[in-house]
Every structure is written in C-alpha cells, then in structure tokens.
Amino acid sequence: MNAEYLLKAQEILEKMTLKEKIGQMTQISYNGKNFDAVAEKIEKYGIGSIILAGSAFAGNTAENGTNVSGIDRLQKTAVENTRCGIPLLFGRDVIHSHKTVYPINLAMAASFDPEAVEHCYNEIRDEAAADGVNWTFAPMLDFCHEPRWGRIIECQGEDPYLASKMAGAIVKGFQGDDLKEPGMIAACAKHYIGYGASEGGRDYNHTEISDYALYNNYLPAFRSAVDAGVATVMNSFNEVNGVPVAASRRLLTDVLRGDLGFDGFVISDWASITQLKNHGLAADNRDAAKKSLYAGIDMDMVDNCYLDHIEELVTSGEVDITEVDTAVLRILYVKLRLGLFEHPYRVRKEQDLAKHIEDSKLMCEKSMVLLKNEGGLLPLKKEGSYCLTGPFLKERQSHVGAWSLATESMTVKNIEEAVREAVPGAEITVLDEIEAQYVYPRNCDVIICFLGEPKCVTGEAQSLADIGVTKQQAELVKSLKKSGKPVVGVLCYGRPTVLTEVEPLFDAMIYAWHGGTMAATAIAEVLFGDAEPTGRLPVTLPMSVGQLPLYYNALPGARIMNGYYNGESRMTHNYNDCPGTPLYPFGYGLSYGKFDYSVAAADESELSFKDLMSGRKFRVSVDVTNTSDVSSTETVQLYVRDKVASRVRPLRELKGFKKITVDAGKTETVSFGLSLKELGFYLEDGSYITEPGEFEIYVGENCLTENSVTVKVTA
C-alpha cells in the first residue's frame, strides 16, 4: 500500500460520520433515466459509487448507453452538494467493448498475444473514460472447464498460465502504468472465486473445489491481476466448501489479502449479499450484511443491505466500527490511487475510432482458429465463383457477443456484405438455408457455409445442456455436401462447440467466435487471403458433450487410460461408446503456412536444486522452419510435466508461448528461459514448492506435441 494515500485516506475517514461511511460502502444503479432519484440519494447518503447499468443482466438486456451529461452532473452533486465532497466511482461492465466491440474474451485469449490484448484494452479504456466511466467490472478471470456454462465466453481459457498472462494484460490495459493519470480506469478482477466450476455448467450452481485445485488452477489469474496492481475485486455468487464466497472470510480476507497481497477493495456482485438468504446462510438482510462485512466485502452492489442495516448493527454493538472503518479506508484508498480527488470529472480525449475499429479487426484475425484446411483450400482465390449460405451469413448483432452493452444502434456489417466488398471480382451467389435443404448449388467453385450460435444463448444465465451444432445446421451441411463441391465452414460460436457431426463434411473450417464490430470484415479478409487466421484454441473442443469435463491439463489416474493423450487401450479406455480424445486439443490451430520443428534441446540436462534456488535459469530451444512458400505465423508452446512429485501433477502444463512470424523457407530459433517458478506448484495449504526430480519439457504446436527433452533437478 502507498503510505501517502493511506495517510490521506485516514484523514478523510476521521472527519466522516457513520452514515457517511456507510454511504461510501454503497453502490446504486443509474440507468441514464433516473437522475433525480440518484442525485437525491447521493446528497442524502454520500453514496460511494454508481453502477451504469439498469439490470442484473447488463449483458443480456438492452442497456442504455452511458448518459454522459448525467454522469457529469452526478459527480458535481457528490463533489459540491455533500458534506465530505468525496467523488463517485462510476462502474460499468466494460468487458470487451465500450463503443468499438472487440472479440469476446475467450476469442482474445485464442490470440495468445497478451501485448495485443493490452493494446486493445488501452483503446477500450479510452472510449469508456471519455464517457465518464472510471471503474470497470473486468477482467473476468473465472477458471472454467465447462463449455455448457454460458459465461465461458468471458473466460481467458482453460489454462491458468494463459489466463494469468491475459489477466495482467487487461489490468494494465485499463489501469496503465500509473492509475492516477487522468483517463485511467480502475479494473476489477472477478468473480472471486470458483464461479466457473458451477456444476454441469448450470449458472449460479454448487461448486466442488479442492484447496489443491483452488491454489493451482483458480487463483493464479487473480494472483497475476493482484501483482499487476488491480484496484478492486468482485466476489462470485457460488459457495466453496459449503460457504458462499460472499460470507467467506477465509477466501475474501485470509486468502485474497493474506496469500495474494490484495490491497484494494472488494465489491459484491449484483445482490450477492442479500442472496445469502437464498443460500440459506443468512436469515435476513441484516444477518447477510453482518456476515458479508465480516467476510471482507467492502462495497454493496445495489441490494442496499449495508445502507439499511450497518448503522443499527454498529450502534447495537453487534458490528465493531473498525470493520466499517477498514472497508471505507480501502474504498478511499482506491479513489486516491485513481486520482479522483484531483480530477473527479471525465477526461475529454480525442479518440481515433477508425484506428480502434481497425485494431478490433486485427484482434479478430489473431483470434480466429483454422481447424481444417484440406489440400490448402484456404485462402480462396479472389476471382472465383462462390455460393454463400448458412444462418450466420446475414447475422449482425450476435457478432458483438453477450457482454457488449448498448449496441442495438451499432451498425455491424454482415458477412455477405463483407464478402462482396472483399472480392468484387468474384461471382457470388447466395443460397437461402431453406432452399439449400432442397437444392444444392452447382454453378460455383466452392460453397462457404456460415454457422454459429446466437449471442442470446451465451453469457450470464444462458447455459446449454447440448453444445452440439444444431440439427438444422447439421442437415444444411449434409445437403451442401451432396453437391460434391468443396465446402468451407465458418463457425461463429461464443463457447466451445461439439463439431463432430459436421467436421467430416467440411473441407476447411475456421472457428471465428463472436468477433466484434469487424467480425464480418475479418472473416472475409481471412477467407480470401488478405489476412491469416493465427489463433490457437484456448479451450478443448470435445467430441461429445458426454466427455465433459474434458481438458488438457488433466491429472494422471491410477491406470494409463487418459484418452486426451491417447493413453487408451482395448482393456483400459475412457468410454465404450466414445474415444477419450478431444476433437481438437488445447493450443491447436493451423496456419496458412507449414512449420517443421527441430528436436527440443536444453542448455542444461541436469541442474542442482541449489542452483535453481539461487535463481539460475536454464533454456530450452527449438528451431522452427517455415517450409511453405508464404510468410506465416505460428504460436510455439512450451509445456512441463513434473514426472514424480509429492502431489499428482498434470500430464501437461503450459509454461510458455511465443507467437512468431517466419518468412517462407526461413528458420527461427525460439528459446524459453525456465526457472524454479515454472517447475513448482502449490500445496493445498497455499505454500509454493519446487521439488528435485525429472521434468519433461515439451515444445511444439499444441499440447499433444511429443517433441520433448528431459531435464533433471538434483537434490
């Protein structure tokens, strides 16, 4: 913590009444239309924060845009019409867009390009700050192995290391190098912790998380966000070990602050304090308020439990005033870090929106994953005859994903328009889906079929029991296949989807996610070679929903039968009716070029534990050769396997990746530095250890690579 801010916060706190303190611990909703009611509450209670949203489902409901003049006037009310004059935090779900919509977070994770993601968040931040937003409820860092869960689209992938890199990038993107600089936005690491483990992907459902998994899988991204200086954290709706996080002092205080060193403030997720009654953990809102404050929730989002009950809890002696003072101190500390007392009003900053749009398109291209490309069918020639069809050919709104607010008025190009624009010299025919079920196209070279899921079945409270391609869409592909023509599939899904039924029918497939404002243009550019799809899967694509949960960083079982790594045999296999292998594994993706890897080599095959403890690194390198005749981009991935340890360790753990572009015929040497950090793991008590022994280091194009070298750490 910064001593100067702490001292200043203490000075402000000492002048505050109990009512004013409780006002600071309260966030109320401003939907752009209820100005008078909000202004009145600010004057009456000294409210600490406004959420710029009208409902608990900001992502799925038609939200208003930010009422910029209203925000300015509310800030003026707080600064000039309250006794303490403490400026407001204006929070909003700026998840992957404000005006310009970038690809959904799961897609941006597929870019394996944290630097590019950080740059996108600089632009998202500038657009939001210009409208008066000074606090965002992002990054969402839920660790998730469950594609049925609608909110997997907001996640950073199924791997803790990749998620940690994305967490740091997004926090830096919003908060910049100095949060105090005008125009920066306070970030919020959410949902702490374990929401992504909701059983069966059923939202808001029970979670079973061992402490071993908590420390090794669920916490790393939050640790990375805290290390990046994230200003706030939001609790999750779920319970862990029978205690709802909103009432868990162990998680919200002992672990978050004690283990991770978090020094900002915690805000409750929408109404999650009053929801303690639904959990059966609180008898009423008074009980809920007491339990959440004690657990470590500093600010109450919209359910008014603190506003209605904390004063009486303190005056009755049931809650000690120090608990209130601690919460308010943290809130004031963040406001001081954000420089709110010096510059409470929004920063009017010139926006190069054209550049933002272009950058969102580039990010879309970096996120798209080429899954199949038989005979190098893609990229397609610009002069040719193409038949376009499928439910996503004319779709617009679903490209912006389930968490882009106030996009109804936004003009999003559809794919047909984008393709016609990209290849004016091509002969384009459009086949209506209904017609396509009776007539298959003859007068074209290639059929391009655009499938996907609407954004309304993704996001909060939008889980699916069946994540396969719908029957109608599969039937469409089957009828197209009868034409004998090459068929390209462009797949616009937010979540990982089971493609098993259609995969054999396509000659080429691109996973395009929900790619944002410029999705259609990016898809057209990739199809016709103006850009290369360079994404790699941040999540496993299963063969069947029956395999779930299915993920790459699996722990070895008692018998060698992990289908993910082809460990099955006649006697020992995962299922009788389905292989245990994924359709496509974590880290998978093709390029338009082709790459050869040399055998992985380590500069030291044996190191002493003492050397490692003293900070010694060793390096593992490969030569990557582009054997094609086009410049192309590859994401070189490094995985570690701790072969014998005091706990069961994953079959593969991603511990490094480098995205490189190599000219045709050229070779690039890629080298990774490894230290104690990459070889260790957390015990269930939260302590981090690295043990001597043999480590298999894999370097290749995805998690299934067998290209490895053994490194021994001697005791």
Determine which residue in the list 93, 126, 146, 303 makes contact with ligand GLC, applying CB under 6 A: 93
How many other CB atoms are there within 10 angstroms of residue 314's CB atom? 19
**CA dist., res. 662 & res. 667, Å (int):** 7
Q: State the first-to-last Cα distance of the chain, in angstroms, to the nearest integer.
A: 38
Residue 430 touching ligand GLC (CB under 6 A): no
Residue 63 touching ligand GLC (CB under 6 A): no
Q: How far is the CB of 95 from ligand GLC (least distance, A)?
A: 8
Nearer to ligand GLC, 203 or 507 (CB): 203
**CA dist., res. 472 & res. 391, Å (int):** 10
Q: How far is the CB of 526 from ligand GLC (least distance, A)?
A: 31
Nearer to ligand GLC, 34 or 661 (CB): 34
Q: How far is the CB of 506 from ligand GLC (least distance, A)?
A: 35
Q: Say if residues 289 and 283 touch (Cβ distance below 8 Å).
A: no
Nearer to ligand GLC, 191 or 337 (CB): 191
Could you tell me the two tokens for 74? 């509310």
Nearer to ligand GLC, 106 or 713 (CB): 106
With CB under 6 A as the contact rule, which of the stretches 51-59, 279-287, 475-483, 598-606 interacts with ligand GLC?
51-59
Residue 137 touching ligand GLC (CB under 6 A): yes
User: Which residues, including other chains, have CB under 8 Å from residue 286's CB and lie 6 or more apart?
Assistant: 305, 308, 309, 312, 313
With CB under 6 A as the contact rule, which of the stretches 11-19, 53-61, 541-549, 671-679 interacts with ligand GLC?
53-61
Grouping H, G, I as helix, E, B as strand and the rest as coil, residue 599 is coil
Q: What angle do CA 327, 332, 335 make, to 5 degrees?
A: 135
Instruction: Find the catalytic residue in 126, 159, 259, 269.
Output: 269
Residue 460 touching ligand GLC (CB under 6 A): yes
Helix H or strand E encompassing 104? none
**CA dist., res. 24 & res. 331, Å (int):** 8
Nearer to ligand GLC, 45 or 137 (CB): 137
Residue 190 touching ligand GLC (CB under 6 A): yes
Residue 564 touching ligand GLC (CB under 6 A): no
269 assigned to active site: yes
Closest residue to bound ligand GLC by CB: 137
Nearer to ligand GLC, 191 or 655 (CB): 191
**DSSP secondary structure string, 306-361?**
HHHHHHHHHHTTSS-HHHHHHHHHHHHHHHHHTTTTT--SPP-----HHHHHHHHH
Could you tell me the two tokens for 352? 């190069």
Q: Which residue has the tokens 């000294």?
A: 46
Determine which residue in the list 52, 53, 488, 620 makes contact with ligand GLC, applying CB under 6 A: 53
Q: How far is the CB of 248 from ligand GLC (least distance, A)?
A: 17
With CB under 6 A as the contact rule, which of the stretches 50-58, 514-522, 579-587, 612-620 interacts with ligand GLC?
50-58
Residue 58 touching ligand GLC (CB under 6 A): yes
Residue 267 touching ligand GLC (CB under 6 A): no
**CA dist., res. 8 & res. 172, Å (int):** 25
Phi, psi of 622 (to 5 degrees): -140, 155
- What b/e sequence results for 406-444 when a residue is b if at least 16 CB atoms lie within 10 Å of its CB, and e otherwise? bbeebebbbbbbbbeebbeebebebbebeebeeebbeeb
* Size of residue set near ligand GLC by CB under 6 A: 9
Q: How far is the CB of 270 from ligand GLC (least distance, A)?
A: 4
With CB under 6 A as the contact rule, which of the stretches 52-60, 344-352, 418-426, 629-637 interacts with ligand GLC?
52-60
Q: Say if residues 273 and 297 touch (Cβ distance below 8 Å).
A: yes
Torsion of CA 181, 182, 184, 186, to 10 degrees: 90
Q: Say if residues 395 and 414 touch (Cβ distance below 8 Å).
A: yes
Residue 98 touching ligand GLC (CB under 6 A): no
Nearer to ligand GLC, 56 or 457 (CB): 56
Q: How far is the CB of 136 from ligand GLC (least distance, A)?
A: 9
Determine which residue in the list 270, 564, 595, 681 makes contact with ligand GLC, applying CB under 6 A: 270
Residue 269 touching ligand GLC (CB under 6 A): yes
Residue 52 touching ligand GLC (CB under 6 A): no
Could you tell me the two tokens for 163? 């998620």
Q: How far is the CB of 554 from ligand GLC (least distance, A)?
A: 28
Q: How far is the CB of 87 from ligand GLC (least distance, A)?
A: 21
What's the DSSP call for residue 695? E
Nearer to ligand GLC, 190 or 366 (CB): 190
Determine which residue in the list 56, 84, 243, 683 makes contact with ligand GLC, applying CB under 6 A: 56
Burial, 253: exposed, middle or buried (Cβ in 10 Å; 0-12, 13-18, 19+)?
middle
Grouping H, G, I as helix, E, B as strand and the rest as coil, residue 439 is coil
Nearer to ligand GLC, 221 or 600 (CB): 221
Q: How far is the CB of 58 from ligand GLC (least distance, A)?
A: 4
Q: How far is the CB of 419 from ligand GLC (least distance, A)?
A: 35
Q: What angle do CA 5, 173, 141 make, to 5 degrees?
A: 90
- Looking at residue 145, its amino acid is H
Nearer to ligand GLC, 156 or 626 (CB): 156
The residues assigned a catalytic role are 269
Given the rule CB under 6 A, which residues bind ligand GLC? 53, 56, 58, 93, 137, 190, 269-270, 460
